[in-house]
Amino acid sequence: MSGDVVKGIVIKGSRNIFTVRAGKKEMECRIKGKILKDMEGFYNPLAPGDEVTIERRSPEADTALILSAERRKTLLARFNQKGQKPQALAANIDLVLCVTSPASPPFRPRFIDRILVQTEVCGVPALVLCNKYDLCLNDPDVEERLEDYGRIGYGVLRVSAKTGLGMEKLREMIDGKKTALLGQSGVGKSSVINALAPALNMKTGSLNEKYDRGNHTTSLSVMLELPEVPGLPGGGKTFVIDTPGIRRMVPWGLGRGELVSCMKEFAPLEGRCSYGASCSHVTEPGCKILEAVSAGVIHEDRYESFLRIQNELE
Ligand SMILES: Nc1nc2c(ncn2[C@@H]2O[C@H](COP(=O)(O)OP(=O)(O)OP(=O)(O)O)[C@@H](O)[C@H]2O)c(=O)[nH]1
Ligand SMILES: [Mg+2]
Ligand SMILES: [Zn+2]
């Protein structure tokens, strides 16, 4: 086929069929040839946000072939346990919203920590978005943890997709950016997108009453453009990527020794323990991490997350 060659952006896709948008048109695309360069070893070769070059028979065609992908500026990925391979979640994004809820499903700081480690590994800024804030105003345990995320340097926003609380502020913070929403099933990722742009009419689902957790309503990541809001200075278009709820977040792309540098308040202490780089930060004398936990500079919960993740890394 020698047709019309244009650049486009991946909106969504499974493992071999992708929807690509070029201009205002969306097309179903397959990859020409077997694999794309640089994406070997991945569970999926392309993710929403990937910039690709496609070839189509004519500008009116509904299908096309993907010839190549651009080098990614950022890639958010995680380890896919089922496939035992890294899985690309979103490409070229500027921000991750780590979406959580104070209740229904229960607040899970351990899960937030895992997402934050992954965003540090991937070099993408993250913001903790506590949705469903209408359910549980000022729960002291939740507040304590949210405040700590703020203290260590993350943006924290309390919102409600149901009442609209905090939505203007959120819209401002993502204006002009490409933002991926990540979190457990049922925390309200798709609902937050609906609250930002009701016309998108994303499918949302009820919680499983017995287990108080989501039913995995969103099954495929998808990138969506938000309508412009007059008066916001972001410049450029605003995109969000809705993702399926994650059951278990297994960080990808870091070795055991690198975990300290991927937890914001641990990072300045890297290499400063008496045993230097060989310190496991568990029992060693002169461990700066342990001292920081005792001094309250590192929250005990964050240290517990550190230990659990460190145990999984080899
Ligand atoms: N009370 C309250 N309920 C909410 C809020 N946001 C979402 N919900 C409800 O929570 C349930 C799950 O919402 P979804 O938007 O489907 O959650 P999700 O994170 O997209 O879930 P998955 O697609 O399964 O990952 C729905 O019943 C929503 O109506 C909120 O701010 N407050
Ligand atoms: Mg959803
Ligand atoms: Zn140490």
Query: Do 158 and 149 touch, CB atoms closer than 8 A?
Result: no
Residue 273 neighbours by CB under 8 Å, 6+ apart: 279, 281, 284, 286, 287, 288, 289
Is residue 239 within a helix (H) or strand (E), and if so which, with residue range?
A: strand 238-242
Ligand 1 contacts CB of residue 205 (under 6 A): yes
CATH number for position 49: 2.40.50.140
Residue 14: closest CA among 62, 47, 36, 54: 47
Same domain, 85 and 14: no
Please indicate, yes or no, whether the overall pTM of this predicted structure exceeds 0.85. yes
Cα gap 131→198, rounded to integer Å? 17
> What range does the domain containing 12 cover?
4-70
Ligand 1 contacts CB of residue 288 (under 6 A): no
Same domain, 26 and 110: no
Ligand 1 contacts CB of residue 21 (under 6 A): no
Same domain, 110 and 213: yes
Ligand 1 contacts CB of residue 222 (under 6 A): no
Ligand 1 contacts CB of residue 191 (under 6 A): yes
CATH number for position 162: 3.40.50.300
Same domain, 39 and 134: no
Ligand 1 contacts CB of residue 160 (under 6 A): yes
Q: Whose CA is nearest to atom 13 of ligand 1?
A: 188
Same domain, 307 and 196: no
The pLDDT of residue 133 is: 96
Number of independent structural domains in the chain:
3
Model confidence band, residue 210 (pLDDT cutoffs 50, 70, 90): confident
pLDDT mean across residues, the chain: 94
The pLDDT of residue 82 is: 86
Same domain, 186 and 236: yes
Residue 157: pLDDT over 90: yes
Residues 45-55, mean pLDDT to the nearest whole number? 96
Q: Is residue 251 part of a domain?
A: no
The pLDDT of residue 2 is: 65
Using the atom order of ligand 1, give the atom closest to the CA of residue 205. Answer: 16
Residues 245-259, mean pLDDT to the nearest whole number? 92
CATH number for position 296: 1.10.40
Question: What digits encode the pLDDT tens for the residues 63-115?
Answer: 999 999 999 999 999 998 888 999 999 999 999 999 999 999 999 999 999 99
Distance 76 CA to ligand 3 centre (A): 28
Residue 36: pLDDT over 90: no
Model confidence band, residue 161 (pLDDT cutoffs 50, 70, 90): very high
Residues around ligand 2, an ion, CB closer than 5 A: 189-190, 217-218
Q: Whose CA is nearest to atom 32 of ligand 1?
A: 132
Of 70, 101, 117, which residue is a domain's last?
Answer: 70
Q: Is residue 197 part of a domain?
A: yes
Q: Is residue 83 part of a domain?
A: yes
Residue 298: pLDDT over 90: yes
Of 41, 70, 99, which residue is a domain's last?
Answer: 70
Same domain, 100 and 28: no
